[in-house]
A and B are shown apart, each in its own frame.
Chain A
Amino acid sequence: MLLPVAKPGSSLENKTGAWRVGFKPKTDEAKCIKCGTCQQLCPEPCITGVEAGRKPAERTFPVTDYDYCKGCGVCASVCPVKAIAMVAEEK
């Protein structure tokens, strides 16, 4: 008997970072205002670190997990201060 049941977190086995084609996002911490928009809208979601409960000055910078980032560019597109750039990479 096969049960279509999965343990929590099992989708982490699929490292989608391998799907990036040529470009990855890079955050310029000098420009970043720690607003958290990129983290909120990342479809993967592979951006963490911006703690919503704190005032912006007390937050840490967003961190992108490149093991899962597919390089879609949504973060770069939505950043209100243009702190994220899609930069060329070679794998």
Chain B
Amino acid sequence: MARKTVEGSFAVAEAVRNCEPDVAACYPITPSTHVAEELANYYADGELKEYITTESELSSMSACIGASAAGSRTVTVTSGQGFALMHEAVYCAAGMRLPIVMIVGNRALSAPLNIWGDWQDAVTERDSGWIQFYCENSQEALDTVPQAYKVAEATLLPAMVCMDGFYITHAVEPVEIPGKEEIRKYLPPFNPKVRLDPDNPVSMGEYALPSHYQQFRQDLHEDLLAAEKIVRDANGGYAAQFGRSYGDGTIEEYKSGDADYVFVSMGSICGNAKEAVDALRAKGEKAGLVRIRLFRPFPYDALAKALSGKKSVGVFEKSYDLGALAPLCSDVSASIALLKGDRPALSSFIGGLGGKDVTVAHVSEMLAKIKQGKTLTEWI
């Protein structure tokens, strides 16, 4: 596996191709356009079996639902407003238990119109029943693609691979991309027991009365929670074969073991946070980082363990729940509530919305506030 220097979108598209999906259905939208374009290039070159140029993102997801129901490995790509347009079918994909993989170049939601990155497009779909991964850099994003297929197909749950718009989609970074043969050894072929088949017809996504509907939701919830272990296994198996792992697959603890105060976040900002933590450590400060990689299912217990005994914790997120506590902070708060005895003080920082640049210096300022042990809610 030679290292090469390419744009994040192209690296991820190559990883998707090497997972050998049967059907890609995409509608291009900034900042994930290059992923869709590159998949279309692969199709034109005969390297992808089927590529459907849909007329909207709702059609992309609907095409993936049909193709996946027929037993195909499928992929779509989206961002921001396009993702929002998919919403209805996003729930259907999970409810129908179809292991579609979606590449998300995270982008802000209108209005005002904005093409730059934050997480709101995917975070707002957190209740839909999809597995959600958030990646720190191009290498992790491309490595997460085969893992997403592996987990999705093992659990019959759809999975999103989220990468920060521009910071990852448009950054040219050195990466190693596993080839088809190597991925075949990691990812078995998709062969669902129930599928649309003219010789054995079934209706999928059936009508459920009040007597049964809730049972389906509860079952989906329980299976999604159980998928956390499968994510760990997929990360471990990937590490064994390819030598790269991302924490335990659900969270990554960076110098947080003996830390007194901890920064918690997701995605590309965590690279900046590692720099900030290193600078503080060099001064003898007991600062640390816990990066959440798996946002759904949320790793409550693993996070509670990682934050146990800390004096204070600050959650930074590029997402919001207007009129309520910010979503990631809300989940971290629920994790901390699991702890017995003294619990760390918890602060919520919201920032980086619509592409607002959050630098190492910003993270250092947040860490200084976290150290004070207050319970702040601030927009950065």
A residues sitting closer than 8 Å to B (CB atoms) are: 1-8
Contacts and interface: CB of A to CB of B under 8 A. Distances in A.
Given A4-B96, A8-B203, 14 more contacts: A1-B97, A1-B219, A2-B219, A2-B220, A3-B97, A3-B156, A4-B204, A4-B208, A5-B194, A5-B204, A5-B206, A6-B203, A7-B201, A8-B202
B110 interface: no
Nearest to A1: B223
Nearest to A4: B206
Nearest to B220: A2
A6 B201 CA distance: 9
Contacts of B201: 7-8
A4 B202 contact: no
Contacts of A1: 97, 156, 219, 223
Interface string B173-204: 00000000000000000000010000001111
A3 B220 CA distance: 9
Nearest to B201: A8
A54 to B, nearest CB: 28
B117 interface: no
6 contacts: A2-B220, A3-B96, A3-B204, A4-B205, A4-B206, A6-B202
A2 B202 contact: no
A33 B30 CA distance: 62
Nearest to A7: B202
B203 A2 contact: no
A78 B72 CA distance: 45
A7 B96 CA distance: 15
Interface in B225-260: none
Contacts of A8: 201-203
A2 B215 contact: yes
Contacts of A3: 96-97, 156, 194, 204
Contact of A6 (B97, B206, B216, B219): B206
A8 to B, nearest CB: 5
A5 B202 contact: yes
Nearest to A9: B201
B95 interface: yes
Contacts of B206: 4-6
Contacts of A7: 201-203
B215 to A, nearest CB: 7
Contacts of B95: 4
A5 B156 CA distance: 14
A42 B86 CA distance: 35
Contacts of A6: 202-203, 206
A2 B156 contact: no
A16 to B, nearest CB: 14
A56 B97 CA distance: 48
Contacts of B204: 3-5
A1 B215 CA distance: 10
B129 to A, nearest CB: 12
A7 B202 CA distance: 5
Nearest to B196: A5
Contacts of B223: 1
Interface in B89-103: 95-97
Contacts of B202: 5-8
A80 to B, nearest CB: 34
A7 to B, nearest CB: 6
Nearest to A8: B201
Contacts of B156: 1, 3
Interface string B152-176: 0000100000000000000000000
Nearest to B218: A2
Instruction: List the 8 shortest-distance A-B pairs measured between CB atoms, nearest first.
Output: A2-B219, A6-B206, A4-B206, A6-B203, A8-B201, A5-B202, A5-B204, A2-B216
B208 to A, nearest CB: 6
Contacts of B97: 1, 3-4
Nearest to B97: A3
B99 to A, nearest CB: 12
With most chain B CB atoms within 10 A of its CB, the pick from A1, A7, A8 is A1
Nearest to A10: B203
A7 B220 CA distance: 21
Nearest to B69: A5
B222 to A, nearest CB: 9
